[in-house]
Amino acid sequence: MPNYQQIINDIHANLKTTKNTGEVADYIPELGKVDGELFGIYLNNVHGNNFEVGDTQVPFSIQSISKVFSLAMAFANQGNALWERVDVEPSGNPFNFLSLLEREKGIPRNPLINSGAIVIADCLVSNLKNPKEDFIQFVRGLAGDDSISFNEQVAESERITGFRNYAIANLLKSFENLANPVEEVLDFYFHQCSIEMTCEQLSNAFFAFANHGVCMRGNQCLTQKQAKRINAIMLTCGFYDEAGEFAFEVGLPGKSGVGGGIVALLPNHYVITTWSPPLNEKGNSYFGMQALEQFTTETKSSIF
């Protein structure tokens, strides 16, 4: 096994001495209050070992990383019927892009861009008895940690500034690809994005994706086939218009969020989570992208 601790220590220390040219997202005002200096790397492997450096125990806004959890839950609930309402192709466009949706008649390109995630949120609102509660329980189950919660202030901050998401939801509604009221679906979506987790909790929650659907606590949270399919979607669609670049530089399935988190995984081996709030111009963590590039190069462990 590579000396993971040494490798992540070195990457962390080296990046800390370089200039971070990214910018902390502030289009959701609450996110702009986060300290841009925070930086953590956490790795857990399927043999039960874990390694960490930096600010791995500070909870942060997982934002779009939550789209993997909502997709997993909707896919587990309704199986392949899901793919009638959302496609599985990369979009090559920013996460909140609108025109493609108009051109493609209300069928989002994939579940990891906002339009696709809003359709998934609609499925969950339809299928769950207590959507927000049931969803947070699902995430807690994946992570094996009952302390995980929504941040109401972040959800509210996004609601009052979420003009593009309202536009997307209304466009979906006009194409009859939204069964529930726009307000109800977006309330769920803003809450899922507001969930706060640490690097450690995220790595634990993604364990099932590296481990054929078997969660931290040893139960089969997802089927093997669901884990395989979702990993494929993460690889091709997890970084919006930087998905190609992430495959090129890092070479792992993964998912980013505008809170500055990135989770990536090598099936059968490990999950690695990085968190550094300043983002590059595509909305992905500037240090996170570099840390993961160095990590897979150093450990020779991309899927390619």
Which residues form the catalytic set? 64, 67, 189, 240, 258
Task: Please report, as ranges, the residues that interact with ligand GLN according to CB under 6 A.
Answer: 63-64, 95-96, 114, 158, 165, 193, 257-258, 283
Q: How far is the CB of 189 from ligand GLN (least distance, A)?
A: 7
Cα(102)–Cα(204) distance, integer angstroms: 38
Q: What does the radius of gyration of the chain's CA atoms come to, in whole angstroms?
A: 18
Q: What share of the chain is helix, strand, coil (3-state, %, to 5)?
A: 50, 10, 35
Q: How far is the CB of 63 from ligand GLN (least distance, A)?
A: 3
CB 285 within 8 A of CB 262: yes
Q: Which is nearer to ligand GLN, 180 or 299 (CB)?
A: 180
Q: Which is nearer to ligand GLN, 198 or 299 (CB)?
A: 198
Q: Which is nearer to ligand GLN, 8 or 117 (CB)?
A: 117
**Tokens encoding 22:** 């990214």
Amino acid at 27: Y
Q: How far is the CB of 257 from ligand GLN (least distance, A)?
A: 4
Q: Which is nearer to ligand GLN, 66 or 290 (CB)?
A: 66
Q: How far is the CB of 51 from ligand GLN (least distance, A)?
A: 26
Q: Which is nearer to ligand GLN, 62 or 208 (CB)?
A: 62
Chain CA centroid to CA 184, Å: 22
Cα(252)–Cα(300) distance, integer angstroms: 12
* H or E stretch at 40: strand 40-45
Q: How far is the CB of 96 from ligand GLN (least distance, A)?
A: 5
For every residue of 99-156, DSSP letters joined together read HHHHHTTT--S-TTSHHHHHHHHHHHHHH-SSHHHHHHHHHHHHHT-TT-B--HHHHH
